[in-house]
C-alpha cells in the first residue's frame, strides 16, 4: 500500500455522526473523503448533547459558532405517568449535584448539521462529495467504493450511513432491525410558563413524552419560552395525532404533559419517525468501522443516541491518529479490533438500558412496574446511587 493510501479514509454518510467523525479524523491529519448529503432537518427535531459531547465539539471548533442557539439543561425531571399501583413520586436530577453547570445543551438538529457541514467543507483535509457511495469492497490491504462514477480507495472506510447501513451489509456484518410498535413525534413549541431549564420526561404506557428547554426569553428576544417535544406513542395513536391540525396537536401535547408549561403553541414543522432497534453483531470488519446509527440504534429515551455516536467518533479518530503517528496503517486489523473493544461496553450498556426502560413502560406486567417503582425510589432516596447514575447518564466513567 502506498504511504498516501495508508493515511486516507472514506467516510460514507454526512449525518451528524459522519460529519463529526470526518472532522475528528481530519484533526488527526488523516485525509478524508466524505460522501453524502446533509439534512437541514426541518422536522422540528432537536438534539440534547451532554457535557462531554459539547467539550468534544468545542475541541473540533464547532460549538463556539452555535452555542448561542442552544439552551442549557440544568435539571432533569422524570414523572411516572403510567397510573400503576407501584409508581414513585416525580424524580428531579440536578446537574449541580455532580458539579456541573448543566447536564448538557439542546439545539435544533438543523442548526447543528448546517454548522458541521460548513466546517467540514472548509477543512483542507476533507473532500466533501454530495451523492452516495456504491459497490463497496473490502480487501486485506485496501478498501474502496464508487462515488459519482469514480472509483476511490483508502486504508479505512467508515460507515456513518445510518441504521439501514448498506456498507454494514456489504461487509457481511450480521444485523437485524427490530421494528418497535411506536413512533416518535417531534415539534418545537412556545409555552406560557417558564421551563426553568428543566427537561421533563412523562413516562406513559406508550413511552416517554419529553419536553426539553430550547430557549428562554433572554435567548429568544422577548418571545415566550420555547421547548422541544419528543413524544413516543403507539403506531395507531401516532396516526391519529398526525391527522390533527397544529392547534389540536398543541392541545394534545399540553394534555399529555398535564399543562406543566401552560398553554402550548407549535411554532414550526412537526416530525414523525417510526422507531426501531438495530441489533448489530459487530461494529468493525476488514477495513471498515461503523459509527453512529450504523452501529447502534434504539428509541430516543434519555438523549443517548447521538451522544453515543460522538463517542464512537472520538474513539475511532484517536486510535487511527495514534496508528498514523506510529507510522502504521490507520485501517489495520489491530486498530479496528481496538476500536471494537473500546466501544463494546458503552454501546451495550446504553442500548440495554434504553431498551429495558422502553419495554418496562410498554409492559403491563406488575413485576416490571414494581421494579421500575423500586428503581425510582432508590434513585430518589440513595444520594450516592443517584449521583452515580447521573454521572453515567452523562458519559461512561464521567467524574470518576
Ligand X SMILES: Cc1cc2nc3c(=O)[nH]c(=O)nc-3n(C[C@H](O)[C@H](O)[C@H](O)COP(=O)(O)OP(=O)(O)OC[C@H]3O[C@@H](n4cnc5c(N)ncnc54)[C@H](O)[C@@H]3O)c2cc1C
Residue with smaller CB distance to ligand X, 6 or 307: 307
Choice between 6 and 15, CB closer to ligand X: 15
Site membership for ligand X, residue 277 (CB under 6 A): no
Rounded CA-CA distance 141/155 in Å is 7
Q: Residue 186 is placed in which grid cell?
A: 417531534
Considering Cα of 325, then 331, then 336, then 337, what sign does the dihedral take? Answer: negative
Looking at the Cβ atoms of 252 and 324, the one nearer to ligand X is 252
Q: Are 51 and 100 in contact (CB under 8 A)?
A: yes
Are the C-beta atoms of residues 294 and 188 closer than 8 Å to each other? no
In this complex, which beta carbon is closest to ligand X, that of residue 17 or of residue 98? 17
What is the spatial distance between Cα 50 and Cα 338, in angstroms, rounded to a whole number? 25
Among 8, 45, 287, 343, binds ligand X (CB under 6 A): 45
Residues 175, 278 contacting (CB under 8 angstroms): yes
By CB under 6 A, tell whether 12 contacts ligand X: yes
Return the range that interacts with ligand X (CB under 6 A); candidates 34-42, 281-289, 325-333, 360-368.
34-42
Is 229 a binding residue for ligand X by CB under 6 A? The answer is no
Cβ proximity of 159 and 168 under 8 Å: yes
- Residue 162 or 224 with smaller CB distance to ligand X: 162
Cβ at position 382, least distance to ligand X in Å? 27
Question: What pairs with residue 203 in β-bridges?
Answer: 80, 208
Q: What single string gives the DSSP state of each residue in 126-146? A: EEEE-S-EEEEEE-SS-EEEE
Min dist. Cβ of residue 138 to ligand X (A)? 15
Longest dimension (CA), the chain: 67
What is the closest distance, in whole angstroms, from the C-beta atom of residue 361 to ligand X in the complex? 16
158 binds ligand X (CB under 6 A): no
> What is the signed CA dihedral for 114, 144, 161, 175, rounded to 10 degrees?
-170
With binding defined as CB under 6 A, does residue 320 bind ligand X? no
CA dihedral 19, 127, 315, 69 (to 10 degrees): -30
By the rule CB under 6 A, 18 interacts with ligand X? yes
Q: Which of 166, 205, 234, 263 binds ligand X (CB under 6 A)?
A: 166
Rule CB under 6 A: is residue 305 a binding residue for ligand X? yes
Considering the rule CB under 6 A, would residue 293 count as an interface residue with ligand X?
yes
In the DSSP assignment, the letter for residue 297 is B
Give yes or no for residue 300 binding ligand X (CB under 6 A): yes
The residue ranges that bind ligand X (CB under 6 A) are 12-18, 35-37, 39, 45, 47-48, 132-133, 160-162, 166, 184, 186, 230, 273, 292-293, 300, 303-307, 309
Amino acid at each position: 500500500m502506498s504511504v498516501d493510501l495508508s493515511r486516507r479514509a472514506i467516510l460514507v454518510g454526512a449525518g451528524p455522526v459522519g460529519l463529526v467523525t470526518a472532522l475528528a479524523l481530519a484533526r488527526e491529519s488523516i485525509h478524508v473523503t466524505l460522501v453524502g448529503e446533509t439534512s437541514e432537518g426541518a422536522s422540528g427535531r432537536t438534539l440534547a448533547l451532554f457535557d462531554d459531547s459539547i467539550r468534544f465539539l468545542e475541541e473540533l471548533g464547532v460549538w463556539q459558532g452555535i452555542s448561542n442557539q442552544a439552551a442549557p439543561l440544568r435539571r432533569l425531571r422524570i414523572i411516572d405517568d403510567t397510573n400503576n399501583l407501584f409508581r414513585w413520586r416525580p424524580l428531579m436530577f440536578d446537574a449541580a449535584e455532580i458539579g456541573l453547570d448543566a447536564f448538557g445543551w439542546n439545539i435544533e438538529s438543523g442548526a447543528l448539521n448546517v454548522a458541521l457541514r460548513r466546517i467540514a467543507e472548509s477543512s483542507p483535509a476533507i473532500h466533501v462529495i454530495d451523492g452516495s457511495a456504491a459497490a463497496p469492497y473490502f480487501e486485506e490491504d485496501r478498501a474502496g467504493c464508487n462515488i459519482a462514477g469514480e472509483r476511490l480507495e483508502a486504508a479505512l472506510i467508515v460507515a456513518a450511513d445510518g441504521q439501514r447501513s448498506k456498507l454494514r451489509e456489504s461487509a457481511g456484518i450480521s444485523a437485524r432491525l427490530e421494528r418497535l410498535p411506536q413512533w416518535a413525534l417531534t415539534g418545537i413549541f412556545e409555552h406560557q410558563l417558564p421551563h426553568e431549564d428543566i427537561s421533563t420526561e412523562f413516562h406513559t404506557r406508550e413511552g416517554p413524552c419529553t419536553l426539553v428547554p430550547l430557549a428562554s426569553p433572554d435567548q429568544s428576544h422577548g418571545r415566550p419560552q420555547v421547548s422541544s417535544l419528543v413524544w413516543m406513542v403507539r403506531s395507531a395513536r401516532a396516526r391519529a395525532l398526525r391527522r390533527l391540525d397544529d392547534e389540536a396537536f398543541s392541545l394534545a401535547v399540553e394534555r399529555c404533559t398535564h399543562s406543566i408549561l401552560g398553554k402550548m403553541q407549535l411554532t414550526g414543522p412537526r416530525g414523525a419517525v417510526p422507531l426501531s432497534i438495530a441489533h448489530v453483531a459487530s461494529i468493525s470488519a476488514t477495513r471498515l468501522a461503523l459509527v453512529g446509527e450504523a452501529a447502534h440504534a434504539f428509541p430516543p429515551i434519555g438523549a443517548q443516541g447521538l451522544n453515543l455516536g460522538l463517542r464512537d467518533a472520538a474513539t475511532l479518530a484517536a486510535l487511527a491518529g495514534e496508528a498514523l503517528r506510529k507510522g502504521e496503517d490507520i485501517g489495520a486489523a489491530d486498530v479496528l479490533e481496538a476500536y471494537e473493544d473500546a466501544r463494546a461496553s458503552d454501546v451495550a450498556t446504553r442500548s440495554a438500558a434504553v431498551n429495558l426502560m422502553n419495554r418496562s413502560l410498554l409492559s403491563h406486567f406488575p413485576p416490571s412496574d414494581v421494579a421500575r417503582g423500586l428503581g425510582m425510589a432508590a434513585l430518589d432516596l440513595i444520594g450516592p446511587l443517584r449521583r452515580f447514575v447521573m454521572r453515567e447518564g452523562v458519559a461512561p466513567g464521567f467524574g470518576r
